[in-house]
């Protein structure tokens, strides 16, 4: 399932845009009530965390589809098109349908002061209700406790991806504070599933589950294929943990009476597809790897994956390092992200994103003087891709999902990809 065509919604979303990001549930709940409480017509499950949310949602949705259930997914952010945020079964929402839904909710959104994300979430819940779905998978946008998706009144199961430091300007300066905000999605009677977390995060999740009357269950990453584990449709060792959370969520749904056969779980995990996660593509015949890592924990996971397949050799002084094309938004921890990504001989081209404040080469070199001469400013993504074409290890595009969206139209068509299907190349 490829990405849908872009749809221009600027005129519809413009009235909400100046509000930026404002967390809270009161506005959302009031708007949904005025609009007829559409979320009450379709039960949901919810996925929270810092990294892996989109992958967990994708795995679980694939399992539900394989079981023959009519399932939808709500994701954020998108890569190329607003349509990516709303998936109805195996179809993207149509552009004209999306525009009509947003226009129907816009007067309600203006009366209640909704943000763009809140307006979109309300319209999505309405579309899910109108589409005769059995169940919806909701990916949290930011945080959890006060995220618009948490306004859904019937979230049967919640899953947690790895929780780390990100969005400190909204969620707090400490890991415990951030974990507390994300744990706030739990509610009385819910089942919560989490893979391994740091001790500090695990303590917060356990405490919040007890306080909120939720049942927290821990799952271990699935064994690798070499150890008899099931094949996964999304590449990367770290996906074994995300798949385990999705599987745990599916098993919790079975306990609640949902008809999900065992074979559907294995089939769904193998069928899962989602772009921008260790995805191999090509630019003018040169293979490149795309990954949405945009915070230090995600960057560290990407680096581990690369090193497992192509271990760095410190003795190879002067050897050609890996080339990176990176865009890092200014509110992200740019220097820490470079610390996690770049090997000893690696170089990176730094590009700014359209209409978004980003880290510059000068600012990054000031924070990390030892990188002077290894960072290159490029005017645009196309120039950065040209720079990646030099011989050497597999080049990588990362640092921002927005960057992946900008380069998508510049890549060779998927049918022309070297090696055939999308996957990881070490």
DSSP labels for 356-380? S-B--HHHHHHH-GGGTTTEEE-SS
Handedness of CA 255, 260, 263, 268 (dihedral sign): negative
Distance (Å, whole) CA 340 – CA 278: 16
Q: Domain check: are 181 and 295 in the same one?
A: no
The residues with which 191 forms a beta bridge, in sequence order, are 157, 215
- Return the pLDDT at 308: 84
pLDDT band at 314 (very low <50, low <70, confident <90, very high): very low
Same domain, 331 and 263: no
Q: What is the pLDDT of residue 177?
A: 94
315 has pLDDT over 70: no
Does pLDDT of 305 surpass 50? yes
Of 218-232, 296-310, 371-385, 412-426, the least confident: 412-426
Average pLDDT of the chain to the nearest whole number = 92
In this structure, what CATH number is given to the domain that contains residue 21?
3.40.1190.10
Residues 295, 261, single domain; the answer is no
pLDDT at 259 over 50: yes
| Domain count along the chain | 2
**What digits encode the pLDDT tens for the residues 10-50?**
999 999 998 988 899 999 999 999 999 999 999 999 999 99
Q: Please check the confidence at residue 210 and state whether its pLDDT lies above 50.
A: yes
Residue pair 240/223 in contact (Cβ under 8 Å)? The answer is yes
What was the pLDDT predicted at 393? 92
Q: Kindly state whether residue 161 falls inside one of the protein's structural domains.
A: yes
The pLDDT of residue 167 is 75
Q: Is residue 3 part of a domain?
A: no
Whether residue 426 lies inside any domain: the answer is no
The arithmetic mean of pLDDT across residues 314-339, rounded, is 82
- What is the span of the domain harbouring residue 380? 279-416
Can you count the helices (H) and strands (E) in the chain? Answer: 15, 14
- Domain co-membership, 153 together with 15: yes
Q: Is residue 421 part of a domain?
A: no
Task: Please state the rounded mean pLDDT for residues 390-412.
Answer: 93
Tell me which residue of 249, 247, 131 sits closest to 185, measured CA to CA: 249
Asked if residue 328 and residue 212 are part of one domain, the reply reads: no
Residue 310 has pLDDT above 80, yes or no: no
Together in a domain, 396 and 363: yes
Q: Residues 257, 125: one domain?
A: yes
Q: Is residue 42 in some structural domain?
A: yes
Of 271, 292, 324, the residue that ends a domain is: 271
- pLDDT score at 426: 36
291 within a domain of the structure (yes/no): yes
- At 234-254, the pLDDT tens digits run 999 999 999 999 999 999 999
Q: How confident is the model at residue 311 (pLDDT cuts 50, 70, 90)?
A: low
Listing DSSP states for 193-241 in one string gives EE----HHHHHHHHHHHHHHT-EEEE-PPPPPGGGTPPP-SS-STTHHH
318 pLDDT tier (thresholds 50, 70, 90): very low
Same domain as 293, residue 188: no
- pLDDT at residue 1, as a whole number: 64
- Do 240 and 387 share a domain, yes or no? no
Specify whether 70 is located in the same domain as 106: yes
How far apart are the C-alpha atoms of 51 and 58, rounded to whole Å?
13
DSSP-based three-state secondary structure for 382: helix
Q: What is the CATH number of the domain that holds 367?
A: 3.90.190.20
- For residue range 93-113, list pLDDT tens digits in order: 999 999 999 999 999 999 999
Please say if the pLDDT value at position 417 is more than 90. Answer: no
DSSP assignment letter at 152:
-
- Whether residue 415 has pLDDT greater than 70: no
> Quick one: 267 and 283 in the same domain?
no
pLDDT of residue 172: 84
Domain final residue, candidates 237, 271, 305: 271
Residue finishing a domain among 271, 294, 309: 271
CB 72 within 8 A of CB 129: no
Residues 208 and 293 in one domain: no
- Average pLDDT (356-367) is 96
- Two structure tokens written together for 190: 């819910």
Quick check: is 4 in a domain?
A: no
Of the listed ranges 1-10, 236-245, 285-294, the one predicted with least confidence: 1-10
Instruction: Please report whether residue 155 resides in a domain.
Output: yes
């Amino acid at each position: 399932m490829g990405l849908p065509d872009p749809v221009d919604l600027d005129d519809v979303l413009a009235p909400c845009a100046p509000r930026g990001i404002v967390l809270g549930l009161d506005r959302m709940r009031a708007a949904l009530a005025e609009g007829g409480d559409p979320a009450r017509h379709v039960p949901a499950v919810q996925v929270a965390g810092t990294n892996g949310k989109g992958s967990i949602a994708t795995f679980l949705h694939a399992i539900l589809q394989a079981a023959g259930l009519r399932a939808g997914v709500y994701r954020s952010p998108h890569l190329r098109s607003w349509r990516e945020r709303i998936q109805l079964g195996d179809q993207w929402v149509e552009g004209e349908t999306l525009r009509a839904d947003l226009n129907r909710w816009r007067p309600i959104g203006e009366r209640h002061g909704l943000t763009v994300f809140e307006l979109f979430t309300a319209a999505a819940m309405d579309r899910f209700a109108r589409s005769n779905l059995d169940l919806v998978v909701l990916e949290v946008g930011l945080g959890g406790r006060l995220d618009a998706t948490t306004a859904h009144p019937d979230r049967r199961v919640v899953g947690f991806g790895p929780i780390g430091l990100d969005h400190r300007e909204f969620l707090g300066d400490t890991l415990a504070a951030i974990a507390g905000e994300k744990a706030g999605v739990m509610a009385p009677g819910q089942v919560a599933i989490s893979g391994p977390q740091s001790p500090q995060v695990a303590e917060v999740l356990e405490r919040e589950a007890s306080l909120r009357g939720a049942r927290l269950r821990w799952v271990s990453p699935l064994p690798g294929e070499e150890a008899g584990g099931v094949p996964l449709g999304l590449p990367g060792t770290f996906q074994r943990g995300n798949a385990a959370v999705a599987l745990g969520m599916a098993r919790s749904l079975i306990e609640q009476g949902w008809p999900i056969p065992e074979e559907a779980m294995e089939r769904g995990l193998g069928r899962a597809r989602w772009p921008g996660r260790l995805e191999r593509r090509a630019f003018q015949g040169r293979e490149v790897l795309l990954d949405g890592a945009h915070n230090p924990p995600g960057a560290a996971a990407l680096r581990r994956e690369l090193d497992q397949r192509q271990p760095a050799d410190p003795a190879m002084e002067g050897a050609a390092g890996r080339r990176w094309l990176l865009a890092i938004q200014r509110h992200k921890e740019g220097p820490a992200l470079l610390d996690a990504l770049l090997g000893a001989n690696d170089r990176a081209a730094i590009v700014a994103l359209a209409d978004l404040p980003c880290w510059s080469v000068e600012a990054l070199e000031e924070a990390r003087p030892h990188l002077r001469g290894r960072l290159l400013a490029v005017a645009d993504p196309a120039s950065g891709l040209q720079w990646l074409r030099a011989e050497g290890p597999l080049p990588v595009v990362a640092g921002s999902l927005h960057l992946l969206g900008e380069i998508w139209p510049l890549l060779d068509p998927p049918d022309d990809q070297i090696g055939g299907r999308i996957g990881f190349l070490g």
